[in-house]
């Protein structure tokens, strides 16, 4: 069983690989990274048809290697990923956040949404079911800390930002790159924390009949 992992941030591979190692170590993984996608989105401020074309090209390449499923790991590109899902309806193609959104919705109550990449807080909330009480929060400076290799500062800033979410029933970390901060966020808030990598692995296993 081969799962293609397609990334737009260079920080995304380690957390999803760690989640697979914990939850589905038998899966074979391949990584495709185009970190210019996130840079171009930050520059342009909007998704473009050209970006969608790039997502489709990455998916076609992954399928050409024999991938049984595709998991995208950057949460700011929902419409681009939906285009891939329409193009390849016969295999699992997952948005990075869809499994976590399902788990958060099932938990109910007030949901805190923590992100470190600002465009994610524009693109992701509409993906939650209508009627949920959603409180978004940006961990300012956390992604920049990760960019310069300071993982401890990244986790600290994420934890500090999450203090505002302590009144929520569950906290959802909106990006794969935030997964390392889950223990810190849980410690500071005392709330259950969902991460996109672990939720995604659980859903892929189920869809592909591996447990």
* Nearest CA-CA partner of 200 in 119, 98, 124: 98
Give pLDDT, residue 12.
Answer: 84
The pTM (predicted TM-score) of the whole model is 0.84
Whether the CB-CB separation of 65 and 91 falls below 8 Å is answered with no
Give pLDDT, residue 211.
Answer: 60
Give pLDDT, residue 107.
Answer: 87
CA distance to 49, 139, 157, 158, 177, per residue, from 144 (Å): 28, 10, 10, 12, 12
* Residues β-bridged to residue 115: 138
Rounded Cα–Cα distance for residues 86 and 178 (Å) = 28
Query: Tokens 């938990």 identify what position?
Result: 107
Per-residue pLDDT of the chain (211 residues), as tens digits, is 999 999 998 888 999 999 999 999 999 999 999 999 988 998 998 899 999 999 999 999 999 999 999 999 887 888 999 999 999 999 999 998 899 999 999 988 899 999 998 888 888 888 899 888 999 999 999 999 999 999 999 999 999 999 999 999 999 999 888 999 999 999 999 999 999 999 999 999 999 987 6
Burial status of residue 209 (CB atoms within 10 A of its CB: 0-12, 13-18, 19 or more): exposed
pLDDT tens per residue across span 10-22: 888 999 999 999 9
């Amino acid at each position: 069983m081969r799962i293609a992992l397609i990334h737009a941030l260079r920080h995304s591979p380690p957390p999803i690989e760690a989640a697979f190692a914990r939850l589905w170590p038998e899966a074979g993984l391949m990584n495709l990274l185009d970190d210019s996608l996130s840079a171009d989105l930050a520059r342009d401020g909007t998704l473009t048809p050209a970006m969608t074309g790039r997502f489709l090209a990455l998916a076609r390449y992954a399928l050409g290697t024999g991938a049984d499923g595709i998991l995208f790991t950057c949460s700011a590109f929902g419409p681009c990923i939906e285009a891939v899902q329409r193009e390849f309806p016969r295999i699992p193609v997952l948005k990075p956040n869809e499994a976590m959104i399902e788990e958060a919705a099932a938990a109910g109550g007030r949901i805190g949404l923590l992100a470190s990449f600002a465009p994610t807080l524009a693109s992701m909330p509409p993906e939650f079911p209508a009627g949920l009480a959603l409180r978004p929060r940006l961990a300012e400076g956390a992604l920049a800390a990760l960019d310069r290799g300071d993982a401890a500062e990244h986790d600290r800033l994420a934890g500090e930002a999450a203090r505002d979410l302590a009144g929520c029933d569950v906290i959802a970390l909106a990006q794969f790159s935030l997964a390392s901060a889950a223990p810190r966020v849980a410690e500071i808030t005392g709330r259950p924390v969902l991460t996109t990598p672990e939720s995604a692995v659980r859903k892929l296993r189920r869809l592909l009949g591996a447990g």
